Structure formats: C-alpha cells, structure tokens
Structure 1
Amino acid sequence: MSQVDAPRGRTCSRTLRSVALLTSGVLALPALAACSADESERTGKAAAPDIAAAARDKVADGGTLRWAIDAMPTTLNAFQADADAATTRIAGAVLPSLFTLDKSGRPQRNPDFVESAEIVDREPKQVVLYKLNQKAVWSDGREIGAPDFVAQWRALSGKDSAYWTARNAGYERIEEIQKGANDLEVKVTFTKPYADWQSLFSPLYPKDVTSAPNAFNDGARDGLKATAGPFRLGPLDRKAGTATLVRNPRWWGEQAKLENLVLTAVPRDKRADALAAGRVDIAEIDRGTATRIAGAAGPRYASGQPSSPAAGRTPSSALKGGAVPHSSGDGKALVARSRSVAAYVAAQTALKGYVVRKSLEPAYTQLALNGESGPLADARVRRAVARALDRKELAETVLSPLGLPADPPGSHLALAGQNAYTDNSGALGEQSTEEAQALLADAGWTPGGLKKPAPAKAGSEAGASASPKASGFPSSAPSGRKAGEGDAASDDGLYIVGDDKPASAVHGPESGGTRILAPAPAAAGRELALPGRPGSDDEARGAGAQDKKGEVAGAYAPRGTAAPVVAGAVGKNGKPLSLRFVLPSGPGSEPLRAVGAKIARMLDRVGIRTEITKVADSGYFKDHIASGNYDLALYSWPATAYPATDARPIFAKPEPASDGSLLVEQNYTRVGTDYINQLFDQAAAELDQDAARELVRRADARIWAAAGSIPLYQRPELVAAKPTVLNAGAFGFAAPRYQDIGFKKG
C-alpha cells in the first residue's frame, strides 16, 4: 500500500510520478517502456509475476474457473470498512478501473475505459481532464460519464456523514466536476494540488450506487444493478460459499475467454483438501501446502521448490510407515491410522495435478517496535534493536527455501521496481553489534546497570523497591497482566497479519486502505515517542530543511561513545532490558515464529532479552497490535503506487486524544514526528515528479532513523494452479487482466 522516492540520476520522461499509495498520481502517462537504465538501477528490479503468461490465441474460449477466496465478501462496495480481498477481486472484474498497476507496481492508464487523462491546468488550480472510451457503457446500456464521477465524489468527499465510507483521501480535495466539451470528457478541478489523482475513481461505481446514502450503505452490499467490465455479477450463493461472475455480453473490449469465473470460499487451512478434492482450480496457498504439492510432484519439480520428506514415497511405503509403529497396539487404532495415511496418500496423488506458481507479494513484513512507553520510547534503544538485526539473514530464512530473491527492502514506502523506490536504509545503518551496544550504553543500558542501586539512607525513598537478580528477567507485560497470559480470541478483520493474507480489506492496497483509528492504552503518565523525546528529529527543523541522503541526526551513537563488552544482559537501575515479543500461534504462522526466534537470538547478542508470547491468530492484531499491547511484533504492510497519500496514516505522528488515549490512525508503532507529517503533506501536493520523489525519500529516511518499523523481507506469494490455467497465478504487483484468464487449448 504505498510509494514515492527521490532519484539521483536521469528519470524516464514518460513515467508517472507515483507519489503515493492508493489514491492518486501525477501526470497521466500511457507507457513506461522508454525508461532509462539509470532509473532501473535506482528503483531495482521487481520480482517477475508467475502466471503462465500466454497469448490470447493460446487460450481456449469458454470454461469455468474456480478460484479460492478466503470468505464470501460481506459487501461489494470497496469503499466500505468491511470490504475485503474478495470485494477487490470482484470489483476488478466487473467495474471500471481508470488506472491499474503493471508488473513493476506502476500506474498505467486503462485504455478500455480512458483514452487519455492528464493535468491540463496547474494554475490557478489543478485541473485533470479525462477523455473516456466512447464504447464504455454500463451493463444497463447507459454511457459511463460525468454523472458517475460526480456521484462518487460527493459520496466519498467526507462532507456528508450519512455515507458510511472507510476513506476519502483525495476526494476531499476536489472542488468540482464538470462535463467537458462533450459527454465523453470529464473535467475535475481540485481545491489544492493533488499528486495522486490517478488513484481516484478506481474502481468507479455507477451513480445508482453512489448518489444516495441508502444505496451506498446497503444497496451495494449484496448486489450491483449495473456493472462495466469483462464480467458481470452473477449469483451470490452465501450458503454454498460461491460468487459467480459471468462473461459480459455488453463488454466492448477483448471478450473474456472464460464463460464463468466462480470465486469459492475456502479457508486457508482447508486449501490443500479443496485442491486434492478438485473443488478449486487455483488457490493462494501457504508454505506447508506448497511443500505438500512439491513432495507429491517429486523429481518433476525444479530446484528452488519447497522440499518435502514425503517426496518419492509410494502409497505402500507410506502405509507401512504409518502402520508399523502402531502394529503392537490396539487393532482399531491401527485401522484408523492406516485409513488416515491412505487418505493422505490419495490426497498426495491428487495434488500431483497442480503446480506451484511463485513470486513476491506487493507487501513487506516488518519488525514493529512499540514506542509509546517503556524502554522503546527512547529512540536510542529502538535504533539499537534495529542495528542488532541481520536483515539479510532474516529474509533468507523465509525466502531462500522457496527459491525466491531474499533482498531486504530498503524502503518503507515502495518495493523494488516501483517508481518510488530508493534504498534509504543507510539512514539507520547496517547491522553492527558494536554500534547497537554503544547506543544502549548512551541510553544508560549497560551490563553494570544490572547491579542493585546502593542502599538508600534512612528516611529516603530511593531503593525502596527491590530490583531483580542480574540473571532473572521479569516480564515486560503491562501491569495487572501475567506474562504469557492468553488473549481472548476475536475477529480482527484488519491488515495483513502473519504470513497468511487477512480476510479483510487493506490488503487492499487495491481496496484503498481502510482508515482505522485504533484505541490505545491511556497515555497519562507515559512518555510518548513524539517530538522532544531522545533522538527526535524535530528540533527547530522546518519542512524545507535539506537532508543528505542516508545521513540523519541521531541514527548513530554520539561520537566517542564506547561499546561496552556484553557477556550477558544489559540493565539500568538494577533492571534488565527485557522486551515482550508477541507472535501468532496459528498453524500458518510458522515462518513468522522462525523469524521471531532468530530476532530474539540476535538481540540476545547485544544484551537485550526478549519474552516471546504466542497468542491466538484471531486476536493477534486487534488485541495486541492495534491496542498497543506489545513491545515487539511482526506484521505486514501492503505497497502500492501512491505513498504520499496511503502511507501517511501508517507513519503519521500519533496525537493525544481528549480521553488520554492516542489517536494513532494506522501507526501502530506509535512512533512519529511533525517533520515526517510535513514531508508527506508536501509530497501529496507536489506535482513535479522529481520533487515529489525527493520529499518521499526524505520522509522514508526519517522513518528509518526513527526506528519504529524495520522492514525485513518482501512476503512470498505462492499459488497452486492446474497446469492448464493460463494468465493467472502469482501476479506480484500486476493487476489481473481478467479477460485473458482461461485454460490452455486442447
């Protein structure tokens, strides 16, 4: 969900100035093919999609593709808070998107709907002129035009509270929308410059949905009277868990190859069974299921695929392996065991009929450091944690066994290959045990700090509380809560948590990013990681201040600070530095727990102790991340083409609320500064591509130096599909081209 950055060499004259995450852009350009080598070197290389790409003449006409989704969508309105990945998939197939992302995560004009889109005036106000495809019509025969744009703007502008909208970024900057020289032209005038205008009106809903609050809030939850895409909406069968999309006979573009696209609800932990039973043709899967498919295929798989101890096993050997250990026991147990193994072997035989397509997802997993209170409120301690990490080793832990590139992300706001990408991690510095120890020492955390303070004189309050032994590490859990105490399970329905996609919206870089105001523990009496805290970069600094690339004040220990020799834990005032590390406990979260264990060992080397607490997946995000009930945690953020808009709520400085809590928006680390906010605001209003990149680069450098979020690796994307499925699989950044998806001829 987000991006923009500052170039150091020439830039492609035809590129979009991708200045943000999910809500707008800058110059409407038709192509990116002419970009220079300098730009490719600057942005890096995006992971290639793995979709069995084929020309349309190689794809059969007709057929039904069954595609697994996590759950049936609770709404078909992508602008509502409970929109999820299924909502996004349906919208992509049946509704207009004026701009879509290419394989490098860069916005591209969609010629099926827009012949041209460009900024035609900058002074006195920004004006964007859309020239629509003259063939574009809704399924009811009405022309797509200005009335649809006007209705969506009014619904999403935030001026009418009767509309239950999840976001209005960009729409609130529109002053008016008018018809141009003819019915096919739409002129949008902004009250103030908006760099990310290309993110607007994607998807575009018919005015029937957006012109009235009742229609917007309830009318589009279970149906759409009019659509405009290669498919139209067919039956939604919530009991059977299927949403059927049917080839649109009114589609003016290249005809959809498939007759039907059936989205089938299959929970992540049931995907292997569904594939083996032939209930779906394609499904995103976890590493465990990928391993099973690779094991079933055996030598047919090339190197780099997940390995499996089951590879090459025959049904008889599997049955024998399951039966022998139990042969001396209960006969019924032996029979049950044999049946279980036989079922597994049968499933493995069926899984031979699938291939695993793999790429890197447009999202990264980070180590989040909660800077609201405790030791991590001190920026020096956060930086010490960050400098102790070997991010390359952590990335390799997850990606190398899958044969995927394991280069740690260098930006919070874009991923390699995107127009906004620049590696700004130098603002924090590379892994260095000595530097980490020096930062801790500067913050007062040393091995000597574990000694108990000298006894206080009679009548003094000093030393009244007992300090722990140097060899003991007390829990850092909040007061009143026992270390390791379980959390009540509840549906979080939020962002990407763990290494499985959520059943919810944000992953929705495509959905636009739900704006959530998360509750936080009362802030009274707590020190916040806001300007004025140690290491803050806001001291008398204006938004126009110039920063040298990779050089941020406070990112390193003060010159001359000696790194102490650390044989064990470090402490202060007799208390060890111990952090509560919250991890999910579910069966799909093994990679996260493996990464968490390595992080704990890396921190141990510099004297930081961790208390790993495993909690139920259902409450991991809502009960811990969003509520601030953690010191360290692992979760992911999506990345899109519009960081100035969509990344701002993720990294904006939290503001104290009247009730003493923090208004954190989506900044669950509670770490932010006024200067970062200013840079985002300037970038969102900057129509010059190079200047916008520079502002976002500087914001990212500041985010690195603040050390509230440490990107570790881009998430793997694994998709199981029948070998005959073409133009679908692990898409990476690219938006699916639904009309090209189908089956191999013959």
Structure 2
Amino acid sequence: MLVSRTPRALLAVAVTVTASALLLSACGGSAGSSAPPPTKQIGQNDINPLARDQVKDGGVLQWGVQAYPANFNMLAIDASSGDIPPVIQSFEPTPAIADAAGNWNPDPDYVESFKLVSTDPQKVEYKLNPKAKWSDGTPITWEDYKSEWQALNGKNTAFQPLSTAGYASISTIDKGADDYAFTVTYSPKLAEWSNLFNVLYPKSLTSSPDEFNHGWKDQPKVTAGPFKIDNLDKTGNNVTVVPDPKWWGDKPKLDKIVFKYYSSANVEVDGLASGAFDFASVSSNIDAYKRTSAMKNVTLRRANLPNYREIVFNGAGNSILNDQKLRVAIIKGIDRDPIAKAEISQLIPNAKPLGNHIFLPGFDGYQDNSAGYLYNQDEAKKELDADGWTLASGAKFRSKNGKQLTIRDAISAGAKSSLDEAQLVQQQLAAIGVDLQIVQDDPNTFFDEHITPGDFDIANFAQMGDGAPPVNNAQSWFTTGDQALGNSGRIGDASINKLLDQASAELDQTKRFALLNEVDKQVWALGHSLPLYQRPSIVAVRNGLANFGNSGLASYDYTKIGWAK
C-alpha cells in the first residue's frame, strides 16, 4: 500500500489496508463470492476481535508494505509514505489513539489522562504514565512533549515537518506538579486537539533541527513501544520487529512482525496465496477482489474511512498548470462518471462523482459544492479559447504563444487504478485539444522524488482519511510560504488560510463544518484538484489472524495482534 501521508494521506496505488467512507459490510466474504458487499454503519471496523486469552503466544505476522521508511522520524517532511506509520507505531509511543468511530483517547501505556479544563483560555491537562521509559532508560516526561511541539509549531523554519497542523495553535506547554504532568494552552483555540501527539519522539530528536530532519533517516536511535527493531534490510526493503523485554505494558502476543516489501498489488495477492503475506489489500481492485474471494482460509474484511480517488493539479511556477483558468477548464473537460463506473461499478453499482474535497457522503458535514465545475466539453473548449489556448486548423492539440498544451500525468508504476484513470482522462482531454502524457514512476520513490518536489503537472492519488479530524485533514489546502507541507500542488490563497484558521478555532461543530464547506467551495474555484469517486475498503486476511484486518478509523493495539488458539 503505497500511501503518501500528508495530513490527508495520499494513496498512489489501487489498494490499501484501510480504505473508504463507503458503508460496507463488516462480515467476511466467503470463498468464491463476487457479489458487492452490503452496507453498514460508519464507525465500525472488522478486525476479528478476540480477548487476549483467546490468542496464541507466539507466531509471526507478515505485513506487506510498498515502501521502506525514507525517514524513521514520521513527523519529518520526507516521511511521506503511508507505509511508515504502521512500522513506526510498533516501536514508538502513541500517546493518542483512536477508536472505530474516530474518537481520540489517551493510550494508557503512555498517558493516564488528558482533559479539557478551560475553554477561555483553552487549556488541556495531561497526566503521564510514570512507567513509560525510552529504550535507553530515560523517563518519558513533559519535556518530550514540549520539545516535539516546538519542532512542529512552525516558528523555527530550520525544522522541516510534514505538517504543523494543530501544533501551531499551541501557545505554551507548562510543567505541572511533577515531570509527568503538564498543561497545554491554545491560542488561537483548537477544536480538534485530542489527536495531537499521536506519535511521540524523544527530545534528543526534536530539540535539534538537523537531528529532526536527518538524524533518523537510517534507523531509529531510541524506541519506547511493545516492539523493538530486530533487523533492517535495506536491500529487500524489509523491517523486522520483535517484542521489547523492557516494555512495561501487556506482553505482545506475536514473536515477530515482518514488514515485507511488495512491488505491486498482484505481488501482494500472489503472496497471500503462497503464504508470503498474511493479508492483502483489495480496495477497488476488481481482479484482486475476485482472486481473494476464491481463496481458501481467507476472509474479506470491510470497514469505513473517508477515502477517495482524485486528480491533483500542480499550480507551482514550474508547471504549465500554474494558470487557474486553465486548471478549471481542464476540470470541465474530464467526465468522472465513466471513470467511477469503470473502476468500481462491480463493487459499488451506484458510484457517483464526489462533490466535496473535505467531507464524503455519509459523514457529517457533507454537501455537494461542485456546481459550476461539472463535465461540460463545450464550456471547457470556450474557456480554453478565452485563455489563449487555441486549436489551429488541422492541429490535434491546442497551443499558446507557440507552446503546445501538453500536460504530464504522473502515476505510480504498477497501479492499475491510476493507469486506468489516466488513460480515460487522456482520451477525454484529447477531445478538447489537450495532450496528456502519462508518466509512470517508480512506486518506491513516487512521492519523495516526484510529488513532494512538484515534479508533475497532474497526478492520480487516493486521499486517505486516517481518522484525523476534518480541520487537520483540510491542511492540504493551507499555503505556508516555502513550506507548502501537505499541499502537494502548492495551490491556495490567503482567503483559504484565514478560513482554515477560523475553522480550527471554532469549537461549535456546526459552524466549524460550515467554514470548511466554504473552504471547499474556494478549493473548487481555484482548480486545486478533482475528486473522482469514493473507494471501497476491502482487505483479504488469512483466517485465524486476530485483532487485525480492516481497522477503519481505529488505531491498532499491537500487543493484541496474533493468531487465534
């Protein structure tokens, strides 16, 4: 699952472990079944939950990943792959964890409590678990939290974080009665504060810009989780972790987790069939769905996440699409209906194009804001003409000032959904005189070497809702000068920045969601990106694997994952 983890994680391939806001069944699919899954309620997941005494001691989990960590500091800007968090969270602290409904709570292994004690000024009190220690024996204290905030708040531009979302709203972190208590004060207010510190690093990492940016590229220097590093195989792109005997919480059930590299969806599905992997992502991949449905001793597990496929535009100066009028015209030249039908109609017969970048149908806050930006070839042609991109007599493609209208569409090699979408868009844009060139890049370096640096005109992703609250997810449209953070296309403006700031500080959910919908309207107007369709969430899991599968919005408890007795 090659996922780019901006504040809203981006998926470059057709499959992933957790996927989609669609209302899908939590029950497993039987062998040979190919019917579309039934609907179910949002806020549930499908992980074969078993009590600890029903799980064997020992065993190995073979966990497929499609990218080796570019940086073991998952807060750094180059740690953009969505395959990094599952690896890191096995051996680093997770002070905030989510349940299946997306509610964030303290992880008792690290935090005894956090609670809002004042709204004006907004203050949150933390009480830490004094048993928690780093692997070098150093206690985990309030100073680690303060140092991480200072690295992520954006004030010291020498730090290069993936996102400052939420942390930039903290004004102070003050020590409490002892080293295991502190108070966080927010100014401006932050409605969605509870998911902050969902991973914690030692102050030895976060107090130094050079250490933060580069110090953990090769390996983690300190850990504090139920597992520890056993082997880093950079040649095979595999990471092996084993239980840490210094761990103070419940002993992990597994003897080992091997995060194993796979190059494509077919390779992962082949691995599930052969025993090389213990689960395979299916999502909207029809071939993978049919193959895994027919496998013996495999269960299809389904859950809900606010995920969708989209086309991202590059508005930076190095791209031909740095022209807002051109981007909007291109949007009107793309027919999303046949794209949705071609990709997921066998799983979701009534799939429709999306009308919102922030909220999805079935989730609070959704409204269709796409009016005025729908498929209309005639309007697209007129707007291209008006923008100076004209079609000369006998020419196949438009040009302006002697330059042909050629757009590079960057996709991840081996991603069937991306290639299918790109080819359909290529045909549609050719009909209005636009030359779309499809460029397939190495999936292992797709984000780090192409998307993050802005080496594309348009690109096909899936936006992966990871349980983060809407305001934090909406940071993908925040412009922050040279550090555009999660805004891959560098498209935004001061008005959107202001609305996001207002939404972030608005404690009333109705008002907050209204502000975010205004953001979405302006995102449409800027031609930031084009949402295509919601993605189903289906994962094929080997029978007997407990407390693992399709986690939905929930965090995994690595100590409970194992094989049923």
TM-score (norm 1): 0.60
Q: Distance in 2 between matches of 1:100 and 1:206?
A: 19
1:80-91 equivalences in 2 (<5 Å): 80-83=76-79, 84-91=81-88
One of 343, 346, 369 as aligned partner of 1:426: 369
One of 69, 72, 78 as aligned partner of 1:76: 72
Query: RMSD of the alignment, in Å?
Result: 4.2
- Counterpart position of 1:472: 395
Q: Distance in 2 between matches of 1:113 and 1:270?
A: 37
1:616 lines up with 2:436 in the alignment: no
One of 467, 471, 485 as aligned partner of 1:644: 471
Residues 174-224 of structure 1 deviation map (CA, whole Å, 9 limit, x = unaligned): 443222234432112345333343343221123344345565455544554
- Counterpart position of 2:13: none
Q: Distance in 2 between matches of 1:676 and 1:215?
A: 33
- Counterpart position of 1:103: 100
1:401 lines up with 2:346 in the alignment: yes
1:701 lines up with 2:527 in the alignment: no
Aligned residues of 1:93 and 1:738 also touching (Cα < 8 A): yes
Unaligned runs of 5+ residues in structure 1 are: 3-19, 23-43, 302-350, 451-466, 484-577, 658-662
One of 141, 147, 172 as aligned partner of 1:145: 141
Q: Distance in 1 between matches of 2:508 and 2:167?
A: 20
- Counterpart position of 1:127: 123
- Counterpart position of 1:724: 544
Residues 477-504 of structure 1 deviation map (CA, whole Å, 9 limit, x = unaligned): 9977xx8xxxxxxxxxxxxxxxxxxxxx
- Counterpart position of 1:36: none
Q: Distance in 1 between matches of 2:155 and 2:500?
A: 23
Q: Distance in 2 between matches of 1:393 and 1:679?
A: 34
Aligned residues of 2:356 and 2:370 also touching (Cα < 8 A): no
- Counterpart position of 1:504: none
* Amino acid corresponding to residue 740 of structure 1 in structure 2: K
Q: Distance in 2 between matches of 1:724 and 1:198?
A: 34
Aligned residues of 2:91 and 2:229 also touching (Cα < 8 A): yes
SS class of match (1:616): strand
* Amino acid corresponding to residue 144 of structure 1 in structure 2: I
1:275-290 equivalences in 2 (<5 Å): 275-284=272-281
- Counterpart position of 2:504: 684
Q: Distance in 2 between matches of 1:101 and 1:673?
A: 32
Say if 1:371 and 1:203 are closer, same or farther in 2 by CA, change over 3 A.
closer
SS class of match (2:554): coil
Q: Distance in 1 between matches of 2:480 and 2:239?
A: 40
Say if 1:579 and 1:51 are closer, same or farther in 2 by CA, change over 3 A.
farther
- Counterpart position of 2:199: 203
Say if 1:382 and 1:217 are closer, same or farther in 2 by CA, change over 3 A.
closer
Q: Distance in 2 between matches of 1:203 and 1:378?
A: 37
1:296-375 equivalences in 2 (<5 Å): 301=294, 352=296, 354-358=298-302, 362-369=306-313
* Amino acid corresponding to residue 593 of structure 1 in structure 2: L
Aligned residues of 1:50 and 1:359 also touching (Cα < 8 A): yes
One of 326, 339, 356 as aligned partner of 1:411: 356
* Amino acid corresponding to residue 428 of structure 1 in structure 2: A
SS class of match (2:124): strand
- Counterpart position of 1:328: none
- Counterpart position of 1:562: none
1:584 lines up with 2:411 in the alignment: yes
* Amino acid corresponding to residue 365 of structure 2 in structure 1: T
Q: Distance in 2 between matches of 1:386 and 1:214?
A: 41
TM-fit CA distance, 1:468? 2.0
Residues 84-133 of structure 1 deviation map (CA, whole Å, 9 limit, x = unaligned): 4443113222222232333344434434433332332344x432211234
Q: Distance in 1 between matches of 2:289 and 2:167?
A: 46
1:258 lines up with 2:203 in the alignment: no
Q: Distance in 2 between matches of 1:429 and 1:634?
A: 22
SS class of match (2:201): coil
1:437 lines up with 2:378 in the alignment: yes
Say if 1:742 and 1:601 are closer, same or farther in 2 by CA, change over 3 A.
same
Residues 218-264 of structure 1 deviation map (CA, whole Å, 9 limit, x = unaligned): 55445546533333333334356442222344545444222222222
TM-fit CA distance, 1:69? 1.8
Say if 1:69 and 1:154 are closer, same or farther in 2 by CA, change over 3 A.
same
Say if 1:101 and 1:410 are closer, same or farther in 2 by CA, change over 3 A.
farther
Residues 240-298 of structure 1 deviation map (CA, whole Å, 9 limit, x = unaligned): 6442222344545444222222222333364345445433323446877x736844x7x
Aligned residues of 1:45 and 1:417 also touching (Cα < 8 A): no
Aligned residues of 1:476 and 1:580 also touching (Cα < 8 A): no
Say if 1:723 and 1:693 are closer, same or farther in 2 by CA, change over 3 A.
same
* Amino acid corresponding to residue 172 of structure 2 in structure 1: E
Q: Distance in 2 between matches of 1:478 and 1:60?
A: 70
1:291 lines up with 2:235 in the alignment: no
One of 167, 177, 198 as aligned partner of 1:181: 177
SS class of match (1:647): helix
* Amino acid corresponding to residue 366 of structure 2 in structure 1: D
TM-fit CA distance, 1:388? 6.0
Say if 1:150 and 1:730 are closer, same or farther in 2 by CA, change over 3 A.
same
Q: Distance in 2 between matches of 1:651 and 1:160?
A: 21
Which has the larger strand fraction?
A: 2
- Counterpart position of 2:16: none
SS class of match (2:183): strand
* Amino acid corresponding to residue 118 of structure 1 in structure 2: K
Aligned residues of 1:179 and 1:185 also touching (Cα < 8 A): yes
Say if 1:53 and 1:705 are closer, same or farther in 2 by CA, change over 3 A.
farther
Q: Distance in 2 between matches of 1:68 and 1:620?
A: 18
Identity of aligned residues (%): 31
Say if 1:730 and 1:694 are closer, same or farther in 2 by CA, change over 3 A.
same
SS class of match (1:735): coil
Q: Distance in 2 between matches of 1:157 and 1:196?
A: 16
Say if 1:171 and 1:281 are closer, same or farther in 2 by CA, change over 3 A.
same
* Amino acid corresponding to residue 697 of structure 1 in structure 2: N
SS class of match (1:198): coil
SS class of match (2:420): helix
TM-fit CA distance, 1:636? 3.2
Residues 136-176 of structure 1 deviation map (CA, whole Å, 9 limit, x = unaligned): 44455554321222232334345556655444444444443
One of 264, 267, 288 as aligned partner of 2:263: 267
TM-fit CA distance, 1:398? 1.8
Residues 420-451 of structure 1 deviation map (CA, whole Å, 9 limit, x = unaligned): x4233235258564xx63576578669xx98x
TM-fit CA distance, 1:703? 1.7
TM-score (norm 2): 0.76
Q: Distance in 1 between matches of 2:424 and 2:210?
A: 51
Aligned residues of 1:247 and 1:256 also touching (Cα < 8 A): yes
Residues 298-325 of structure 1 deviation map (CA, whole Å, 9 limit, x = unaligned): xx74xxxxxxxxxxxxxxxxxxxxxxxx
Give the count of matched residue pairs.
522
1:118 lines up with 2:115 in the alignment: yes
Unaligned runs of 5+ residues in structure 2 are: 10-39
- Counterpart position of 1:593: 419
- Counterpart position of 2:12: none
